């Protein structure tokens, strides 16, 4: 079942909003309060590690993709290298959040993410860029995914969720994980530029990444809807009964 961990492993929750507000140097009292809450929930060392890893990824691979003369050709490699930078701390976060969700201790965590995302959204909209709503939508899709994972672990436990995904949705999980990874990279890279953290980027690349963020977000939303049906026992049994899917045998 280790191959199914990416969909669980992308339960990054606070990392994106916290990283974004750190990268943007949005030094407001509210954001400092939220960062403090995140540190209390997750541990200061882990939050700082996450922020530093995402910053390195965006400053490195994000900046390179924003300036690439061959965006389409370079994107897969840059996305992969970005994830190589951030995978270890995100895995630590995922394991910690899996424990919290299983113990039903995730509500404060979810509250922090929502409030942090509101602040990031406010900063994005303050730029008055016409396409910025695509980035807002992309962030909301990432948060919806985070909450889905946390809620399902709370309901079924880590092993219970993994068993259902392994039996019923291996292909869907792997495809969803790819879209989630690409969504994260496009959103972080584009938001970095929109928030004015770098003035060195190609305008056409930025608009392309914003557009891709929207499309990846739509794909993630669709996959989460599908996974929701496949994980729910009653819905899954009904789909099998109606012949909409063929039950997978171990």
Output the six-digit token pair for 243.
């012949």
Q: What is the pLDDT of residue 146?
A: 82
What is the model's pLDDT at position 129? 94
61: which residues sit within 8 A by CB, 6+ positions away? Answer: 78, 79, 81, 82, 85, 185, 189
pLDDT means per 10 residues, the chain with 250 residues, are: 41 52 59 76 83 87 96 96 86 74 70 82 90 95 86 84 87 87 92 86 97 96 92 90 71
| Annotated domain spans of the chain | 2-241
pLDDT given for residue 128 in this prediction: 92
Tell me the whole-structure pTM to 2 decimals: 0.87
């Amino acid at each position: 079942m280790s191959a199914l961990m990416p969909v669980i492993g992308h339960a990054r929750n606070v990392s994106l909003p916290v990283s974004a507000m750190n990268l943007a140097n949005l030094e407001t009292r509210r954001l400092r309060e939220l960062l403090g809450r995140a540190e209390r929930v997750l541990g200061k060392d882990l939050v700082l590690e996450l922020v530093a890893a995402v910053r390195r990824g965006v400053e490195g691979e994000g900046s390179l993709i924003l300036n690439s003369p061959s965006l389409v050709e370079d994107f897969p490699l840059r996305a992969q290298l970005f994830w190589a930078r951030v995978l270890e701390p995100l895995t630590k976060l995922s394991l910690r959040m899996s424990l919290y969700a299983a113990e039903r201790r995730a509500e404060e965590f979810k509250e922090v993410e929502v409030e942090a995302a509101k602040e990031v959204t406010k900063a994005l909209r303050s730029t008055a860029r016409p396409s910025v709503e695509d980035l807002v939508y992309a962030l909301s899709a990432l948060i919806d995914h985070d909450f889905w994972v946390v809620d399902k672990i709370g309901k079924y436990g880590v092993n219970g969720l993994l068993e259902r995904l392994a039996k019923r949705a291996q292909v869907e999980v792997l495809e969803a994980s790819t879209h989630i990874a690409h969504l994260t990279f496009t959103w972080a890279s584009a938001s970095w530029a929109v928030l004015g953290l770098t003035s060195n980027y190609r305008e056409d690349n930025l608009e392309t990444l914003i557009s891709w963020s929207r499309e990846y977000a739509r794909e993630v939303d669709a996959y989460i809807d599908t996974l929701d049906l496949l994980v729910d026992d009653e819905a899954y049994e009904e789909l099998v009964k109606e012949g909409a899917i063929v039950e997978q045998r171990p």
